Structure 1
């Protein structure tokens, strides 16, 4: 008999609402910590509100993983809904503790979870979910699905081109050399 699998990720995947609804994805919000305090991404503020706040912030905000209690609560809810297990695809463990928290939360909720370190963020995470759900439809068992997703994670790359270096400067990722616009 095929196991009923829940699909879990975090807001680093940047999934749009239609994809979340169409694919029944459970999304844990990451916390964005501004000087005034923490806000849960997509819950306490929209992406547009985040970018507006980011533009005016004097210092770059930090991020924080979801509270362990939120993760435990989600897993308990999934268990009550009749899911046999969850495949949880999270942003790189080098960027967030969400992946590692999934193990602890699964143990506390007494729920079988297959955490996946995407080793990345954003669009490739959506592709990992799509691959996993396709494999699920084809009848693959959760462990085999995770093995294939891990192969994809090992070979995923993400490049981005910032429209401005100002946020990278605020975060300390580039020096003050780039603070002022170049003059011809």
Structure 2
């Protein structure tokens, strides 16, 4: 996660230079409880934000709600050592793995904790509502929250969603109006892209997340499909016959997505670190920032399976970064 830490440290340095002093707190002050006009950012663990990011000083106003993953009859929360150990074994063995949305009560607890920490409002940013009921659970909890909550359905997931969350955190740190933060998040999510390939479609089929690919299952048995999220659902981009060609196609798609604009790219993998790092090196020339390799969160790996590879492409949020200059 060194690339993500460096990205955050660069932001912190810019914040300090903007103020002209060592701390930056006069302009960006998420740790000052006496300020009541602060916006917190809440997301779910499908955003793939690593612990090192959540514990960074710039993330004091950020909360990530863990999503449940069920292996057989055992329920795990994202981020536990037991889940990290058991999920790859379960996927390799063909054990039934399912996922669920967080209960509205979990969101209620997080919203209450944020309110008691002195925040005035919340923007709650979540994965596609066509893949999960997480955004709906957030909306239910928002009705009874102690402070106003604005829920954003990104229609995406993974670090595509995570990058949108981090940009929202920058905007919140400079006390932008909640409407502008939400509009910026929605636009950035709509302008982002995610491409991925899986060794087979079995896990997606079992989980019911096959989207518009369902009618093509029979014709895709002997290929390594390249998939994307279109309008929030899984859709087919191409059907190469080998993993190598699928990776080549994803690199082409990343290049096409970056033409004419600066973008930030990240790579996801699960159980295939060397392949993920090789892919990151290939797409680095297309990215305006270092390309991190981020292990798929368990809630996504449960549906994509061992050996899944993905690329997320997000536009550089010029408006958010402009606040830093």
TM above 0.5, one fold?
Answer: yes
User: Are the aligned partners of 1:29 and 1:43 in contact in 2 as well (CA < 8 Å)?
Assistant: no
User: Are the aligned partners of 2:36 and 2:119 in contact in 1 as well (CA < 8 Å)?
Assistant: no
Question: Which SS does the other structure have where 1:159 is aligned?
Answer: strand
Select which of 58, 66, 81 maps to 1:29. 66
Higher RCO (CA-CA < 8 Å; seq separation 6+)? 1
Q: Give the direction of change, closer, same or farther, for the CA distance of 1:78–1:154 in structure 2 (3 Å limit).
A: same
Indicate the residue corresponding to 1:154 in structure 2: 190
Instruction: Report deviation, 1:36.
Output: 1.8
Select which of 19, 24, 27 maps to 2:53. 19
Deviations 1:136-173 (CA, angstroms, capped at 9, x unpaired): 334411111111111111222200122x22xx224425
CA RMSD of aligned residues (A): 2.5
Q: Distance in 2 between matches of 1:89 and 1:170?
A: 26
Select which of 55, 64, 72 maps to 2:92. 55
Establish whether residue 3 from structure 1 lines up as the match of residue 47 from structure 2: no
Q: Distance in 1 between matches of 2:40 and 2:174?
A: 16
Length-normalised TM-score, structure 2 = 0.50
Q: Give the direction of change, closer, same or farther, for the CA distance of 1:170–1:97 in structure 2 (3 Å limit).
A: closer
Deviations 1:28-59 (CA, angstroms, capped at 9, x unpaired): 11111232232222147444532232222344
Question: Which SS does the other structure have where 2:183 is aligned?
Answer: helix
Q: Distance in 2 between matches of 1:152 and 1:73?
A: 28
Indicate the residue corresponding to 2:100 in structure 1: 64
Q: Give the direction of change, closer, same or farther, for the CA distance of 1:85–1:63 in structure 2 (3 Å limit).
A: same
Deviating beyond 4 angstroms after TM superposition, the runs of 4 or more aligned structure 1 residues are 173-176
Length-normalised TM-score, structure 1 = 0.84
How many equivalent residue pairs? Answer: 177
Q: Give the direction of change, closer, same or farther, for the CA distance of 1:75–1:44 in structure 2 (3 Å limit).
A: farther
Q: Distance in 2 between matches of 1:170 and 1:137?
A: 39
Q: How does 1:1-184 map to 2 (within 5 A)?
A: 3-22=37-56, 23-24=59-60, 25-43=62-80, 45-59=82-96, 61-162=97-198, 164-165=199-200, 168-172=201-205, 173=210, 174-175=217-218, 177-178=221-222
User: Are the aligned partners of 1:13 and 1:121 in contact in 2 as well (CA < 8 Å)?
Assistant: yes
| Structure 2: gaps spanning 5 or more residues | 1-34, 211-216, 224-241, 243-325
Task: Report which of the two structures shows the higher radius of gyration computed on alpha carbons.
Answer: 2
